[in-house]
Structure 1
Amino acid sequence: MDRPFRFAAVIREAESARAWAGKARRLEDSGFDVLLVPDHLVGPRFAPIAAITAAACATSRLRVGTLVVANDFRHPAVLAKEAATVDLLSEGRLELGLGTGWMAADYACAGLAFEPPGVRVDRLAEAIAVLKGLWADGPFTFHGEHYRITGLEQWPKPSRRPHPRLLLGGGGPRMLGLAAREADVINLGMRVRADGTGPDGTDGGLDAFLAKIDLVRRAAAGRYDRIELGTSVQQLGIRKQDEPWSAADSSRQDRTPQVLLGTHQDIVDKLRYWRDTHDLSYFVLHHERDLDAFIPVVEELAGH
């Protein structure tokens, strides 16, 4: 595949509506393609649907999306209507990221049942079927283990047909298999610990990352060429050409595209390598604190 680079940034909050709009416009003006908002019940983060709607209203080209909506927090019939409305009002600029919900603290603080990963993945698979069914034309009926929909037809329909672009993220084999079958964009990450306390440290490193790409390629079969592969940049360190680099700034992920260390040219070359050799073309800046340093990379590569 020879896809152009696309870049997104996760933006979590701002001190005012004006500041939020300014952040969205800055991404648009710098060549970023997407503004993404996470979905957690705890911590200093905006609610995603309201936040991406405001970002869409403040911009004209910038796509807006989620990384990722926690399926356990919303019934898919509710999300389908909200997402279709955002997509219509933004003229097709929604990129809806979906996940199971994973952070145990969200569930504990809100009194929600935190079920095993397999149950949450099965429920997400059903939710995707419901979303796509409700975005299609005509009444939709679905009777699954987790959701029952009977003769429901919703309006508005999304602007983008047959549905908004779907992003699925994850690192475990079941999530990646589901993403390979259903997603338009896949954000490759580390597997999350079953207890919901963070990434599984045993799942790091280059070999594990390459194995995930291979899993997606095999599971996607004939639709692989239609999938946009990407990952989140978790660590960024750009230094001047003659500036020394400390070994302490490295990590187990430093051979993957999730860690970008070196000069501007080193990072540009590394991203080109992962695109040209391993098909990754969609990169998400995970920390807003790195925005100033990353913008020159985006300006050089976006769309190429």
Structure 2
Amino acid sequence: MAGRRFRFGAVVRGAESAREWAEKARRLEDSGFDVLLVPDHLVGPRLAPVAALMAAACATTRLRVGTLVFANDFRHPAVLAKETATLDLLSDGRLEVGLGTGWMAADYAGAGLAFEPPGTRVDRLAEAIAVLKGLWGDEPFTHEGAHYRITALDQHPKPLQRPHPKLLLGGGGRRMLRLAAREADVVNLGMRVRPDGTGPDGTDGGLKAFLAKLETVREAAGPRYNDIELGTSIMQLGIRKPNESWSAAHTTTQDETPQVLLGTHHDITDKLRYWRDEHDISYYVLHHERDLPTFTPIAESLAST
């Protein structure tokens, strides 16, 4: 992974009009960011991903668009394969497909969906990835598994990017990270989610746990490790002026990881370079839209390095 350049993405959740959404996409494109990312939840003030990504792509020329992440349980993978192939074609090959099991219990409860154990959802996701890659391929595809059955299906259009758009998988659990290491083009390292789907598992924080996740990916990826782009989400950002004091209230268990960036502009750029050069993490996703004005100068200063 030596020499991999930085890439920066930002999660953008919503807008009150088509014009506002297009303006957000264009501002991101002009600010050193590479990817606009949309989450996928059934509850809360968030735009639906497929339509939002198409609108963002139409409003821009360079900016890539993607999800963080499609919830696998919300769509049959044959439907998702068709939608994403169409999105990739109509965006001139700028789509990145982030995919996860689905995790937020409130989504399932509100829609009357069965919220099955994590192991079942990971098994289903693994099958869905096989179906997606098969349907993105050039030949009719057949699959018979525990969760999906596909019979000689040959979908068109095919994605413009070959063999398929970048596939991002993320998570903090060992099983999910091993799946990502085997199947993904981009692995987003995060915290493990509580089994009841109510939020991150607070026992999964800290530098030791983060480094263990990196090692899990290295071991599971084997010879394909150098082909994987490693990333993580910036969950907390705080920039101070030189010699300015820093409140202990800003600190968390993740302070030593690249998920928390605190200090001067120089401190933060040095930390990002360290995690890229020493631990191969080159893709950073700004998770909170409110931090865009603060983080943009950092993204611009590192974008070409």
Q: TM-score, with normalisation over the residues of structure 1?
A: 0.99
Residue 303 of structure 1: aligned partner: 304
The answer on 1:146 being equivalent to 2:172 is no
Paired amino acid for 1:91: D
Could you say which residue in structure 1 is the equivalent of 2:34? 33
Report the CA distance between 1:240 and its aligned residue: 1.0
Structure 1: gaps spanning 5 or more residues = none
Report the equivalent of 1:21.
22
* Partner amino acid, structure 2, of 1:168: L
Paired AA for residue 288 in structure 1: E
Q: Residue 66 of structure 2 aligns to a residue in which SS?
A: strand
Which residue number in structure 2 is paired with residue 242 of structure 1?
243
1:197-248 CA distances to partner (integer Å, 9 max, x unpaired)?
Answer: 0001111000000000000001000100000001000000001113211111
1:162-190 residue CA offsets vs partner (Å, 9 max, x unmatched): 00000001000110000000000011000
Residue deviations 1:96-124, cap 9 Å, x none? 00000000000001000000000000000
Which residue in 2 is equivalent to 1:43?
44
Matched with 1:90 is 91
Q: Note the C-alpha offset of 1:160.
A: 0.1
2:102 corresponds in structure 1 to 101
Structure 2: how far apart are the matches of 1:254 and 1:206? 8
Q: Which residue of 1 aligns with 2:72?
A: 71
**Residue in 1 that maps onto 2:193:** 192
Question: CA separation in 2, counterparts of 1:169 and 1:179?
Answer: 7
- 2:7 maps to 6
Q: Which moved more, 1:241-250 or 1:101-110?
A: 241-250
Q: Is 1:118 equivalent to 2:119 in the alignment?
A: yes
Post-superposition, which runs of at least 4 consecutive aligned residues in structure 1 deviate over 3 A? none
Letter of the 2:158 partner, please give it: K
Q: Distance in 2 between matches of 1:277 and 1:247?
A: 27
Correspondence for 1:56: 57
Instruction: Give the structure-2-normalised TM-score.
Output: 0.99
Separation (CA, whole Å) in 2 of partners of 1:60 and 1:39: 24
Superposition pairs for residues 208-227 of structure 1, below 5 Å?
A: 208-227=209-228
Q: 3-state DSSP class of the match of 1:163?
A: coil
Q: Is 1:271 matched up with 2:272?
A: yes
The CA distance in 1 between the partners of 2:186 and 2:25, in whole Å, is 21
Letter matched to residue 72 of structure 2 = N
Q: Distance in 2 between matches of 1:179 and 1:5?
A: 20
* Cα deviations by residue, 1:14-39 (Å, 9 ceiling, x for unpaired): 11111100110111101100000000
Q: What is the 5 A alignment of 1:258-297? A: 258-297=259-298
2:128 partner letter: A
Per the alignment, residue 181 of structure 1 pairs with: 182
Amino acid at match of 1:200: D
Q: Shift of the alpha carbon at 1:50? A: 0.6
Work out the CA distance in 1 between the residues paired with 2:243 and 2:294: 17
Residue 201 of structure 2 aligns with an amino acid whose one-letter code is D
C-alpha displacement of 1:91: 1.0
- The amino acid of 1:84's aligned partner reads A
C-alpha deviation, 1:138, in angstroms = 1.6
Hey, what's the Cα distance between the residues in 2 that align with 1:33 and 1:105? 31
Other-structure match for 1:131: 132
Instruction: Give the secondary structure class of the aligned counterpart of 2:271.
Output: helix
C-alpha separation in 1, matches of 2:294 and 2:242: 15
**Paired letter, 2:12:** I
Aligned to 2:206: 205
CA distance in structure 2 between the aligned counterparts of 1:284 and 1:149, rounded to whole angstroms: 34
Distance 2:175 2:94 in 1: 28
Aligned residues: 304
Letter of the aligned partner of 1:204 in structure 2?
G
SS class of match (1:4)? coil
User: For residues 167-178 of structure 1, what are the structure 2 equivalents within 5 Å?
Assistant: 167-178=168-179
Separation of aligned partners in 2, 1:279 and 1:62: 23
Instruction: Output the amino acid matched with 2:214.
Output: I
